[in-house]
């Protein structure tokens, strides 16, 4: 089954506004950025050096975790003969140039963000990317100035991942501190990974599943993922 035959419950911006939504919180990899393939290829190449293959469970874990926690997990699970910091350094060297020079937004994402800003929504990023890579990607794609804040797992000392509602609460609290008081029931979290969506739901946030072949696991996993969310989008 191809993604163009799947159903969605599209988060129309004017409808969201009428329903009282004030804040839109976006993941980067696989949600706004067409970038999951580069991480998947890095995983395939890196694990392949040691005779291992990438599994859906592995992708689920490393996508929601900080790069440090993903490296620790990889080191332990596969007994990689490197320190976790050496694994991080290897991964970072493989992807930074991509985020700085090549990464693109998913089709329609920039127009969706610009229209949301025009309609008065506050916008935030919550990402497992390092701040360096997130900043490079947002600058490269020309959308950095649209966001009120960019929250990374580095802001928490990489002690939690996106299955925790604290990540999304931090974005909400940042925007609320500017004078726009927002409850989680007035914020929508957009993400392509089920565990991150579960984290947002546990904090009382509205949620929107975003389709990605790698992040959400492709067509075979889409229906159940989308059904867990208030909204779902195949393409912005």
Using alpha carbons, select from 187, 194, 226 the residue that is nearest to residue 26.
187
Q: Helical H runs in the chain? A: 13-18, 36-48, 56-64, 67-78, 84-101, 109-118, 131-141, 166-176, 194-202, 219-227
**pTM for this prediction:** 0.87
pLDDT at 61: 84
pLDDT at 191: 97
188 has a pLDDT exceeding 70: yes
- 93-103: average pLDDT: 89
Domains and their CATH numbers in the chain? 7-35+105-233 (3.40.50.1000), 36-101 (1.10.150)
208 has a pLDDT exceeding 70: yes
Q: Is 192 exposed, middle or buried (0-12, 13-18, 19+ CB in 10 A)?
A: buried
As a whole number, the mean pLDDT across the chain is: 92
- 159-186: average pLDDT: 91
47 has a pLDDT exceeding 80: yes
Buried b or exposed e, range 99-112, using 16+ CB within 10 angstroms: beeebebbeebbeb
Share of the chain above pLDDT 70, in %: 98
pLDDT at 4: 64
Alpha carbon separation from 138 to 27, 28, 92, 129 (Å, rounded): 12, 9, 17, 11
- 180-187: average pLDDT: 91
pLDDT level of residue 209 (50, 70, 90 thresholds): very high
Rounded CA separation 121/93 (Å): 36
pLDDT at 3: 62
- 196-219: average pLDDT: 92
pLDDT level of residue 219 (50, 70, 90 thresholds): confident
2 has a pLDDT exceeding 60: no
């Amino acid at each position: 089954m191809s993604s163009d035959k799947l159903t969605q419950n599209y988060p129309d911006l004017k409808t969201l506004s009428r329903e009282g939504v004030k804040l839109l919180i976006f993941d980067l990899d696989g949600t706004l950025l067409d970038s999951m393939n580069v991480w998947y290829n890095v995983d395939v190449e890196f694990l392949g050096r040691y005779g291992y293959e990438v599994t859906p469970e592995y992708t689920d874990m490393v996508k929601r975790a900080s790069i440090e926690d993903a490296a620790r997990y990889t080191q332990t699970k596969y007994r990689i003969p490197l320190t976790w910091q050496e694994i991080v350094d290897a991964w970072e060297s493989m992807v930074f140039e991509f985020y700085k020079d090549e990464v693109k937004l998913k089709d329609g994402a920039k127009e969706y963000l610009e229209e949301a800003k025009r309609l008065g929504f506050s916008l935030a990023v919550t990402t497992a990317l390092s701040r360096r890579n997130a900043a490079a990607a947002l600058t490269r794609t020309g959308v950095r100035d649209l966001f009120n804040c960019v929250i990374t797992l580095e802001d928490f000392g990489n002690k939690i991942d996106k299955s925790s509602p604290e990540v999304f609460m931090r974005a909400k609290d940042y925007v609320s501190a500017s004078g726009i008081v927002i409850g989680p029931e007035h914020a929508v979290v957009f993400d392509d990974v089920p565990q991150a969506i579960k984290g947002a739901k546990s904090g009382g946030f509205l949620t929107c599943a975003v389709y990605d072949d790698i992040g959400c696991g492709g067509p075979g996993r889409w229906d159940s993922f989308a059904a867990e969310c208030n909204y779902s989008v195949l393409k912005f």
